[in-house]
């Protein structure tokens, strides 16, 4: 008899056949979540809508919200563009921009193929951070049929008057480097690449607490990175800024270890972020991954989805109390149970259905909220590091252990705390247009996050957001079990 999946999905680890192995259960869970995503997105026709936040008390209020009254808003903003942050939703509005060339682990999905992820980003931004967001998937092809980073740059510059911040997402390398670095300097609102800076922030938060539990210091540990894309190269850069020792770092791409002798990277100037790491790290020029893992304290993998990308024997060769972050999506490079069996002390992945979700979902809602509240001109690396320590400290205060090193998305108070810390760092870094106290920042963020959550709950309770029926969940479960058996 088929077991019943709860609508909350809290019993997801218990619904698969008892005879399934741990690997089969992990595979079935992935398939189930993908199938349920397909069914539920069809049921809701996406997951974001536009809802007015101003009331209509009578017919003449249309003349206030639109013509003739709204003319005063236009001329006021014309005379002082910064008033747009107060007189429109711009001050709490983010554009989630992508050309969909590197969507999760699925690669180039065509421009509209990224809408599911970008709407998901907008969904989390609203529910977790109290921030409104719009998914904008753009066509970056030029006349030669190539993805052109300059087209994304031009698009963002053109639309920035409508937004308080830009969240770049799922842009393939090397284009993502040029897009981010150019826009960070040339835009007058924050431009944030969540795949890179967001993942780096949360990874650092997890590493801070993992090292505390292992009784190790960030400047002393040997760190091996598998994958040299936008995420891992930024993670390495942020860890270096937080005190990591470049001489004890080794990063690997598909051609081997990054080091000063990599002429192929030197020859392609588009990969300048990788070149920076070639010049700073791996002084012994180690090119064999198995050799690099020997005695390593930390492995951070954001590479090819597994579960066989990282071998158990590599983990077994690591140092005592090793820390393993395998964060490929949607399937980690090795499943947590296998990494633990191989001797890992702490294992983290990018998924919420395993312990220790090191995923940017606990980063970007609070970080962007913090930046928006003080009308920051950019998100500095210091702001990302401040967010990492905010997350780590929040988790430590409520208690950490090897299975619980970072906050979870359902810990609502972590986001206003993070937003307040980021806002304070923006003021300290001199990129904020307005100032406020930390207490004021926390109260604003908490108010907006509570509003978003209560609005969603009210719409659900009153039937404006309908619940899927049990058959949908059971169909997804049956599909997953049949695929694995």
Residues carrying an active site annotation: 66, 121
The Cα 392–Cα 381 span in angstroms is 17
The Cα 350–Cα 280 span in angstroms is 27
The Cα 201–Cα 138 span in angstroms is 26
107 Rama class: left (phi>0) / alpha (psi -120 to 50) / beta: left
**What residues contact residue 373 under an 8 Å CB cut-off, 6+ apart?**
419, 423, 436, 441, 444, 445
* DSSP percent split of the chain into helix, strand, coil, nearest 5: 50, 10, 40
In Å, how far from its chain's centre is CA 353?
16
Looking up tokens 């395998």, which residue turns up?
326
Q: Measuring CA to CA, how many Å separate 467 from each of 119, 224, 226, 472, 473?
A: 19, 45, 41, 10, 11
Instruction: Say if residue 383 is preceded by a cis peptide, omega within 30 of 0.
Output: no
At residue 433, φ and ψ (nearest 5 deg) are -80, -30
The Cα 128–Cα 125 span in angstroms is 6
Sign of CA dihedral 198, 201, 204, 210: negative
Cβ-contact 360, 117 below 8 angstroms: no
**What residues contact residue 230 under an 8 Å CB cut-off, 6+ apart?**
171, 173, 176, 177, 193, 195, 196, 273
Burial class (CB in 10 A: 0-12, 13-18, 19+), 96: buried
The Cα 469–Cα 471 span in angstroms is 5
Task: Reduce the DSSP state of residue 397 to 3 states and report it.
Answer: helix
Look at residues 241, 146, 247 and name the one whose alpha carbon lies nearest to residue 197. 241
Runs of H (alpha helix) within 318-380: 336-341, 364-373
In Å, how far from its chain's centre is CA 219?
25
In Å, how far from its chain's centre is CA 158?
25
The Cα 287–Cα 150 span in angstroms is 34
Q: What are 324's strand-pairing partners?
A: 299, 347
């Amino acid at each position: 008899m088929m077991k019943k999946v709860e609508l909350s999905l809290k019993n997801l680890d218990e619904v698969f056949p008892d005879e399934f192995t741990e690997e089969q259960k992990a595979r079935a869970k992935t398939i189930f979540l993908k199938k349920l995503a397909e069914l539920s997105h069809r049921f809701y026709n996406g997951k974001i809508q536009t809802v007015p936040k101003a009331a209509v008390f009578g017919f003449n209020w249309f003349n206030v919200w639109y013509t003739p009254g709204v003319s005063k808003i236009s001329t006021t903003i014309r005379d002082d563009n910064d008033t747009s942050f107060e007189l429109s939703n711009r001050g709490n509005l983010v554009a989630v921009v992508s050309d969909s060339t590197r969507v999760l682990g699925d690669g180039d999905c065509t421009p509209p193929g990224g809408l599911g992820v970008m709407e998901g980003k907008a969904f989390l931004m609203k529910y977790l951070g109290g921030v409104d967001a719009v998914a904008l998937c753009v066509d970056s092809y030029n006349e030669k049929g190539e993805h052109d980073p300059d087209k994304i740059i031009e698009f963002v510059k053109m639309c920035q008057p409508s937004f308080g911040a830009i969240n770049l997402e799922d842009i393939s390398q090397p284009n993502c480097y040029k897009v981010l670095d150019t826009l960070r300097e040339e835009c007058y609102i924050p431009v944030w690449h969540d795949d890179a800076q967001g993942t780096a922030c949360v990874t650092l938060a997890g590493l801070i607490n993992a090292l505390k539990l292992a009784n190790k210091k960030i400047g002393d540990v040997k760190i091996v990175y598998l994958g040299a894309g936008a995420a891992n190269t930024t993670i390495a850069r942020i860890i270096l800024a937080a005190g990591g020792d470049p001489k004890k770092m080794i990063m690997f791409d598909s051609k081997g270890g990054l080091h000063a002798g990599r002429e192929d990277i030197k020859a392609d100037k588009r990969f300048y972020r990788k070149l920076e790491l070639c010049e700073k790290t791996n002084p012994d020029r180690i090119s064999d991954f198995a050799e690099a893992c020997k005695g390593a304290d930390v492995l951070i993998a954001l590479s090819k989805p597994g579960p066989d990308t990282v071998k158990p024997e590599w983990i077994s060769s690591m140092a005592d109390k090793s820390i393993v972050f395998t964060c490929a999506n949607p399937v980690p490079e090795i499943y947590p149970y296998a990494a633990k069996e191989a001797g890992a002390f702490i294992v983290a992945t990018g998924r919420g259905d395993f312990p220790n979700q090191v995923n940017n979902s606990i980063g970007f809602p609070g970080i962007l909220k913090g930046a928006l509240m003080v009308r920051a001109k950019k998100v500095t690396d210091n702001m990302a590091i401040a967010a990492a320590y905010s997350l780590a400290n929040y988790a430590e205060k409520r208690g950490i252990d090897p299975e619980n090193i970072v906050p979870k998305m359902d810990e609502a108070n972590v986001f206003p705390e993070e937003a307040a810390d980021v806002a304070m760092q923006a003021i300290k870094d001199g990129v904020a247009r307005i100032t406020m106290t930390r207490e004021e920042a926390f109260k604003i963020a908490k108010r907006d996050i509570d509003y978003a959550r209560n609005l969603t709950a009210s719409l659900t309770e009153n039937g404006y957001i309908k619940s899927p029926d049990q058959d949908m969940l059971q169909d997804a479960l049956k599909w997953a079990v049949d695929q694995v058996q």
